[in-house]
Chain A
């Protein structure tokens, strides 16, 4: 059975919110809210709430980056200082802790920030080709709801959208 990907465009958040709420209430049997992707021109936590709990894990990578920055930073500095400042200090390796605390603090932030950015690229699904259904109106002033459904569910779903004053429906047939 072939599948269809359907993008519905709405002129306001309230209608999009209500359409998703209807899907959540199982008004089109076979389509669940987990199948829904919302696309919007601005971030909108209130409307995203209707999609349910979709956790974000970026902060774990940030934490890992910060820990890595501290450990690597200190080891990098200490090894450099122990190796290259030996002779000037009369054979005694000197690892100045106060200086290293300052430098490690900077490296903590450096690696935390970069790890946050890199994890963002992957966790947000960036660096991919845009969907063929992408509508430029989403970056202007319309809200999109993208759902992938079995073919026989396409018409009931479109009917639901029409009840909520959908402006435009685009669809593509998946193999």
Chain B
């Protein structure tokens, strides 16, 4: 029998919410530190790869003409995609008043920020001459050089920097009341940090009213912004005339793919945080089920967009596009292509089973497989087109060198490290919103004593006073 479980224990005391979340920042399981060490080792791999590439040149990464960006741009697209679900889903669910987002949106938004920061590394890494990275900025230089504003790559720079700053603001604004809680309950360097970051928050009605409006406005802007960012990333490819890239459905395909990989990443991080910080009471199975169902729905949209792209190429009778499609499915990249199809379109059917959705180790494996499929998807967008372009001299197969793979591998460590530091320093569960969630749920359930938030109901007649002002 399926019992209608509640998303969260609605009887939980508000003081306990504060205690649990604040304790998590002080006292994670030992496995948290193991994860930090693993991430540091992965970043070390990337640093070594960067050193080799820096001293040797781009040849060390096997990059050549026509494979001039290959794995780096695929990884860039992957991380941009990963960034999408956090802020976008948080904003959409906020507008829809889906309160189950409240215990999990904070880390999802942090995921957005750190994914974007990781993605931003790849255009710089790809330059090789990293010291010239500032040339991409539109400043008045003595060379009279400006970026080509008609290039989608410049649109990318504008869109991603806007998205990064807006996402960071959205994350920060949503965190201000929690930073005030941290300020009131910590000592030492933490207290100093939270005092500065909480901006003097006191929870007055004036602050809350402005806060509510600001958060709503930010959510309204972030939704079209998030869609525009990945549409523009798709324009990096779709604005060209290369076979496999000049596709009308690319913008929605990229957006769906981004949401998909982001949702899978949310599941992975959900499970890790739940374990590291003993958040079983907040990151609950019913919430996991909702995220899993959402992921399944997005997976089906992504699958449909894949099929529609294949069908339009097949019936379009464009020789180059059709040859490319056949080569993807039967050429040297076939194993990557079919792994992408299996991981992206077949594995999600596991999410249709309640027993799978509620089994954390299985969900962890499934979420990793989904993201493996999404990484391969990005690779399959880039590499086959570069390998089978119009001119015979361009026909080639490119697998990437150990330097390139080291950089890709290290990017996961970099992201993981930033994320793990964030969740240790800042509350990864929104305390005030979990309080709102339990309060409003009990109220709508008609509980008579819902308004009593504290156990200290005894009246106090003594009036402590502060003299002088």
How long is the Cα–Cα vector from A157 to B417 in the complex, in angstroms?
54
Q: Does the CB pair A41–B14 fall under 8 Å?
A: yes
Contacts of A133 in B (CB 8 A): 466
In this assembly, does B162 line the interface, its C-beta being within 8 Å of a C-beta of chain A? yes
Q: Shortest CB–CB separation between residue A170 and chain B, in angstroms? A: 5
In this assembly, does B307 line the interface, its C-beta being within 8 Å of a C-beta of chain A? no
Q: Does the CB pair A117–B464 fall under 8 Å?
A: no
With contacts A51-B205, A58-B210 known, is A171 near B459, CB below 8 A?
no
Contacts of A80 in B (CB 8 A): 138, 146, 149
Q: Does the CB pair B214–A96 fall under 8 Å?
A: no
In this assembly, does A92 line the interface, its C-beta being within 8 Å of a C-beta of chain B? no
0/1 interface trace, chain B 174-214, chain A, CB 8 Å (1 if under): 00110011001100000000000001111111111111111
With contacts A96-B150, A127-B199, A129-B200 known, is A105 near B228, CB below 8 A?
yes
Number of residue pairs spanning A and B whose beta carbons lie under 8 angstroms apart: 216
Q: Which of A84, A96, A124, A128 has the most CB of B within 10 A?
A: A124
Within residues 206 to 240 of chain B, which ones have a CB less than 8 A from any CB in chain A?
206-214, 217-218, 221, 224-225, 228, 232
In this assembly, does A114 line the interface, its C-beta being within 8 Å of a C-beta of chain B? yes
How long is the Cα–Cα vector from A143 to B202 in the complex, in angstroms?
11
In this assembly, does A90 line the interface, its C-beta being within 8 Å of a C-beta of chain B? no
Total interface residues in chain B, CB < 8 Å: 72
Secondary structure at the A interface, as helix, strand, loop or mixed, is mixed
Q: Does the CB pair B149–A172 fall under 8 Å?
A: no
Nearest to B435 among chain A residues (CB) is A42
How long is the Cα–Cα vector from A40 to B205 in the complex, in angstroms?
7
Q: Shortest CB–CB separation between residue A71 and chain B, in angstroms? A: 16
Q: Shortest CB–CB separation between residue B345 and chain A, in angstroms? A: 32
Apart from the given pairs A116-B214, A167-B459, 8 other A-B contacts in the complex at a CB distance below 8 Å: A38-B205, A39-B203, A41-B435, A41-B453, A43-B436, A54-B206, A140-B454, A169-B464
Q: Residues of B at under 8 Å CB distance from A?
A: 13-15, 18, 138, 144-146, 149-150, 154-155, 158-159, 161-162, 165-166, 169, 173, 176-177, 180-181, 184-185, 199-214, 217-218, 221, 224-225, 228, 232, 432-433, 435-436, 439, 451-454, 456-469
